[in-house]
């Protein structure tokens, strides 16, 4: 995706608008029920302006419903939220500055890619030149006249991204944008997101590809059963993802180590004759010292960094237990 | 205005063009068939009123208007399927993100759709009329009564009332689409409604069914035909017009209220 300076206007947020300032998205106790099912349940999150925020959760966690709430497509049963400083009750005040790709992008299959974009450009009052710019950006200019039904999954996904970028948005909400993209397409998407962040735009990115999110996000929101398990700077979450693995021949020595770790406030799990302690890596020397003092002298401590997936699964497991 | 212009772009879809094509071809075919039956000397109780009206100033509309019910059904399907497809295809969410004012979006869409239906129906009637004129001239049949001032007045009255009827039908289609939110369900409900309450129930309860919306709307162009051809409004033209307008207002109000509050999960 070739990036040029005239495709996007730079909207660098003022200092006060960044991590500590006015959030791009803020929700307080946001709830949405469909019959007896709680899709979103008292959700309270905050996304600072100018960040790439990863939105993670298992299927049915409430991600898409949250996105639909933010876009004014469904109405909340309780709670409140602001998007770009405006309340959800007035989507017409903020949606002209928001671009969105929700779930699988939807098109008129018998119309060309260009006409599909023109339909939305006319509706939003965007100039026709914007359509050409975006077709170039997503590398669909040479297939722009073909009906969308002849597009591959990856091409449809790129057209969906072009649709989301039509208003040159300050806030971009993308639901699984890399679906159907080949590895090169995923790398290009990553570059595009970084480029947009450099322009001062906020990106709210829902994805199942946690490894992919890990590479681009500054902020993380983790959702399960409609509730936020974590909402904060990505580094806070990622810093916590190390663990110590302790091995010993005698079970009594492992019991001593487990007691010390638990007393220090860390989660300990047994795994095939070894212990896994979720803690910062610098706890290793302290653990070793206390273990020796307690008489556990024949232990081996390994440091291990867990993936975002493992950390996320552990968080889910903790939530479920 | 943005919503209206945006909707016009979608008329390039083959499904829209196919709807117009079917309307034009089937109406012209039925008009020609009626003309042929009348001029070939065929007889029968159903043909007698048509044969009597044929040489009069109402002759042309009697022949061309035989496919009126079909035009109504095709227009209803065109509107319901077009509008409901926005839910079925999921494109409604794209539209609402770019135009969050739902009433403005629905108004723009419906203005464009009604315009399309009216243009299609007008083309249909004009093409059918030209065909019948051409065939009549080719067979040496006099069309003087059809082109007389009375004939033109009758033609314009029929044309205007037919367009008004189709506006009402389009608004009914909008209501069905907004309530069902799916192409299959919308077209099914639309056809079932025309067949069951407006068709079958009307046969056994004529007194009450004369106030049903499709029937009332159909009375409007029917008032331009001879009473024996009809359907002329039993309640009188002005009463039928007033009731038709009330139905149209009702369709608009209910559609607007529902669409404004509806969750868009498609």
A151-187 pLDDT tens trace: 988 888 889 989 999 998 999 999 888 877 788 878 8
Please check whether residue A119 touches B, CB under 8 A.
yes
State how far the Cα of B226 lies from the Cα of A247, in Å rounded to an integer.
Answer: 101
The residue that leads in pLDDT, B198 or A240, is B198
Please check whether residue A273 touches B, CB under 8 A.
no
Question: Do B261 and A118 lie within an 8 Å CB cutoff?
Answer: no
User: Closest Cα to residue B231, out of B260, B189, B202, B255?
Assistant: B202
Which residue from B13, B94, B101 is facing A110, i.e. has the nearest CB?
B13
Neighbours of A39 (CB within 10 A): 24
User: Closest Cα to residue A217, out of A231, A203, A201?
Assistant: A203
- Average pLDDT of the segment spanning B140-144: 87
Neighbours of A122 (CB within 10 A): 23
Is the pLDDT reported for residue B245 higher than 80?
yes
Please check whether residue B96 touches A, CB under 8 A.
yes
- Average pLDDT of the segment spanning B191-206: 82
Which residue from B9, B93, B263 is facing A118, i.e. has the nearest CB?
B9
Question: Do A111 and B15 lie within an 8 Å CB cutoff?
Answer: no
- Kindly state the greatest CA–CA separation across chain A: 76
Give B10's contacts in chain A (Cβ within 8 Å). 108, 111, 119
Question: What residues does A248 pair with on adjacent strands?
Answer: A299
Kindly give the pairing relationship between strand A171-175 and strand A98-101: parallel
State how far the Cα of B66 lies from the Cα of B28, in Å rounded to an integer.
Answer: 10
Helices within chain B (DSSP H only): 2-9, 14-39, 48-53, 59-64, 68-88, 91-98, 102-138, 144-147, 149-180, 183-195, 202-204, 206-209, 213-222, 237-261
Please check whether residue B208 touches A, CB under 8 A.
no
pLDDT for A115 equals 94
Question: Do B10 and A108 lie within an 8 Å CB cutoff?
Answer: yes
Kindly give the pairing relationship between strand A78-83 and strand A23-34: antiparallel
The residue that leads in pLDDT, A199 or B129, is B129
Whole-number mean pLDDT of chain B?
Answer: 90
Best residue in A116, A123, A161, A204 for a mutation probing chain B (most B CBs within 10 Å): A123
State how far the Cα of B40 lies from the Cα of B5, in Å rounded to an integer.
Answer: 48
Please check whether residue A107 touches B, CB under 8 A.
yes
H or E element at residue A42 = strand A37-48
Which DSSP string corresponds to A106-128?
---TTSBHHHHHHHHHHHHT--H
Give how far B255 is from chain A: nearest CA, Å: 17
User: Closest Cα to residue B101, out of A149, A125, A78?
Assistant: A125
Which residue from A68, A95, A123 is facing B2, i.e. has the nearest CB?
A123
Least confident of A75-89, B60-74, B193-207: B193-207
pLDDT for A5 equals 47
Please check whether residue B94 touches A, CB under 8 A.
yes
Kindly give the pairing relationship between strand A242-248 and strand A299-305: antiparallel
Give B15's contacts in chain A (Cβ within 8 Å). 110
Give how far B95 is from chain A: nearest CA, Å: 7
- Average pLDDT of the segment spanning A207-233: 85
With contact defined as beta carbons under 8 Å apart, do B65 and B161 qualify?
A: no
Residues 6+ apart with CB under 8 A from B121: B23, B71, B75, B162, B163, B166
Which residue from B5, B89, B100 is facing A72, i.e. has the nearest CB?
B100
Least confident of A58-62, A64-68, A109-113, B259-263: A58-62
Question: Do B89 and A163 lie within an 8 Å CB cutoff?
Answer: no
3-state secondary structure of B198: helix
Reply yes or no: is the peptide bond before residue A275 cis, omega within 30 of 0: no
Q: What is the pTM of this model?
A: 0.82
Model confidence band, residue A59 (pLDDT cutoffs 50, 70, 90): confident
Whole-number mean pLDDT of chain A?
Answer: 84
In our burial notation (b when 16+ CB lie closer than 10 A, e otherwise), range A216-248 reads bbbbbbbbbbbbbbbbebbeebeebbbbbebbb
Give B181's contacts in chain A (Cβ within 8 Å). none
State how far the Cα of B165 lies from the Cα of B225, in Å rounded to an integer.
Answer: 15
Residues 6+ apart with CB under 8 A from B244: B164, B165, B168, B213, B216, B217, B219, B220
Which DSSP string corresponds to A211-234?
HHHHHH-SEEEEEETTEEEEEEEH
Give how far A124 is from chain B: nearest CA, Å: 5
Give B6's contacts in chain A (Cβ within 8 Å). 119-120, 122-123
State how far the Cα of B90 lies from the Cα of A109, in Å rounded to an integer.
Answer: 12
Query: What is the spatial order of strands in the sheet that A37-48 belongs to?
Result: A37-48, A23-34, A78-83, A86-87
pLDDT for B213 equals 92
Question: Do A68 and B264 lie within an 8 Å CB cutoff?
Answer: yes
State how far the Cα of B108 lies from the Cα of A156, in Å rounded to an integer.
Answer: 27
pLDDT for A16 equals 38
Sign of the C-alpha dihedral, residues B117, B122, B128, B134? negative
Give A122's contacts in chain B (Cβ within 8 Å). 2, 5-6, 9
């Amino acid at each position: 995706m070739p990036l040029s300076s005239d495709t996007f206007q730079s909207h660098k947020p003022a200092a006060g608008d960044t991590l500590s300032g006015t959030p791009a998205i803020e929700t307080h106790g946001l709830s949405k029920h469909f019959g007896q099912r709680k899709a979103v349940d008292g959700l309270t999150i905050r996304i600072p302006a100018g960040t790439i925020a990863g939105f993670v959760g298992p299927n049915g966690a409430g991600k898409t419903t949250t996105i639909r709430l933010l876009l004014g497509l469904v109405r909340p049963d309780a709670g409140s939220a602001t998007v770009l400083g405006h309340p959800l009750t007035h989507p017409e005040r903020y949606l002209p500055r928001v671009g969105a790709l929700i779930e699988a992008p939807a098109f008129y299959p018998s119309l060309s890619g260009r006409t599909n974009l023109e339909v939305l450009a006319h509706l939003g009052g965007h100039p026709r030149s914007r359509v050409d710019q975006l077709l170039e950006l997503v590398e669909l200019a040479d297939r722009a006249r073909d009906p969308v039904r002849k597009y591959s999954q990856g091409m449809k996904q790129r057209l969906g991204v072009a649709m989301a970028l039509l208003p040159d948005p300050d806030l971009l909400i993308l639901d699984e944008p890399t679906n159907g993209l080949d590895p090169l397409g995923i790398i290009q998407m990553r570059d595009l997101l970084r480029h947009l962040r450099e322009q001062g735009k906020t990106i709210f990115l829902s994805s199942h590809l946690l490894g992919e999110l890990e590479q681009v996000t500054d902020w993380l929101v983790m959702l399960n059963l409609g509730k936020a398990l974590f909402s904060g700077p990505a580094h806070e979450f990622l810093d916590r993802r190390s663990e110590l693995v302790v091995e010993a021949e005698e079970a009594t020595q492992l019991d001593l180590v487990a007691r010390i770790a638990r007393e220090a406030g860390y989660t300990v799990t047994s795994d095939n004759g070894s212990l896994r302690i979720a803690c910062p890596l610098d706890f290793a020397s302290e653990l070793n010292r206390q273990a020796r003092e307690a008489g556990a002298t024949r232990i081996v401590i390994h440091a291990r960094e867990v993936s975002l997936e493992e950390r996320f699964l552990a968080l889910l497991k903790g939530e479920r237990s | 205005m943005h919503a209206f212009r945006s909707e016009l772009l979608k008329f390039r879809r083959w499904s829209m063009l196919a709807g117009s094509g079917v309307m034009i071809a089937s109406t012209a075919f039925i008009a020609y068939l009626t003309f042929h039956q009348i001029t070939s000397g065929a007889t029968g109780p159903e043909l007698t009123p048509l044969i009597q009206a044929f040489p009069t100033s109402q002759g042309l509309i009697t022949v061309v208007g035989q496919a009126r019910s079909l035009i109504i059904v095709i227009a209803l399907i065109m509107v319901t399927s077009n509008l409901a497809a926005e839910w079925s295809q999921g494109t409604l969410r794209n539209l609402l993100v770019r135009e969050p004012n739902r009433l403005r979006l629905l108004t723009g869409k419906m203005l464009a759709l009604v315009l399309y239906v009216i243009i299609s129906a007008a083309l249909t009637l004009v093409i059918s009329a030209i065909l019948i004129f051409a065939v009549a001239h080719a067979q040496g049949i006099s069309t003087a009564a059809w082109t007389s001032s009375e004939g033109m007045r009758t033609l314009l009255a029929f044309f205007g009332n037919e367009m008004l009827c189709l506006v009402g039908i389009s608004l009914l289609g909008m209501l069905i689409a907004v309530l069902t939110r799916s192409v299959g369900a919308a077209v099914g409900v639309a056809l079932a409604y025309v067949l069951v309450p407006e068709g079958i129930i009307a046969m056994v309860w004529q007194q009450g069914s004369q106030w049903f919306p499709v029937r009332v709307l159909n009375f409007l162009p029917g008032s331009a035909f001879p009473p024996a051809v009809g359907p002329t409004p039993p309640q009188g033209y002005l009463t039928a017009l007033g009731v038709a307008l009330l139905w149209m207002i009702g369709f608009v109000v209910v559609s607007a209220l529902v669409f404004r509050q509806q969750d868009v999960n498609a």
